[in-house]
Structure 1
Amino acid sequence: MVSKQDAVVAAVEEAITGPLEDLGLDVEAVELTPAGRRRVLRVAVDTDGGVDLDTVAAATKAISVVLDEPPGDALLGEQAYTLEVTSRGVDRPLTAPRHWRRNADRLVKVTLVEGGEVVGRVGASDDEGVLLDPEKKGEEATRVLYADVAKAVVQIEFNRRSAGEEDA
């Protein structure tokens, strides 16, 4: 059974997806959480090349237009809300082929459905899977099918190597 809040979130996501796609953005997440007498509506967006402040501002304006004018103004009801628009963030799991494509050359840790982990840099990816390039010389790249991935997250690197840079 779908809760009323889940239904509202789904309706908001449906209403804002088209206008955000017109800006070249993908809706990555929509969350509605209570915050005292108000609610916070968080919308995470992403696009190839990443999201900058101008993109966030344009997305915020597009979402506001949808939610402040009929029929969208009825989606959130009378209770006040605060809108927060943000980028997808590095801590969100990689769940769609576009996430892998957008994280090319980033170090990822993949937990497999059948157990075990694979760590490597995102190489070539397609609609079925991704090639993970090894961190160490002499090791072979590993092809991982998305269907075999239980969880995959980008690893934070403070001294990230440059594209094409080899390990010493």
Structure 2
Amino acid sequence: MSYTKIKIDLRSLKYFLCNRDRDRGFTLIELLVVIIIIGILVAVSLPNFITQIGKSRETEAKNNLGAIARSQQAYHFEKQTFANDLSYLTINGSFASKYYDLPNPSIANSAIVKHQATALNPNSDRVRNYAIGVYHNAGLFNTFFCQSLDVGVTVDVPDTTSGVCTNNGIRLE
């Protein structure tokens, strides 16, 4: 191998190594395109994510109202009337709620009891209101569960099991 051949090979190796370092990494345009695509994906998915958080918070109200309804049935079985105060129903404390106010029933007698779960901060928490009614007729209990149509709208159960939820509320089974 001749000296000139080795010199040419070293020159081409040096050129190759210098150009390879220059081609590493991403250009500013490529990075901006990736950031824009990520931003679009976040903007599309964020409303759905916030809705799902609100639905998970609403589970608290549904669980508490279900427990209240079962407690009311047990209370009625013993006393032949529904409790007009939540403190009569509590077992191991009260019905704790972070996102909802659970006031005493609006109606409580021997035939019907109506409870509501009213959102404390409906717009910021993105939660709807709920109501439950427990009806006693001829030894049988029926339960009516209503959900408000939208955030910040009040809802109540009807006075009979054949009625409908107030304010176009949705009956849950």
- With normalisation by structure 1, the TM-score equals 0.23
| Structure holding more strand per residue | 1
Structure showing greater Rg: 2
| Structure holding more helix per residue | 2
- With normalisation by structure 2, the TM-score equals 0.23
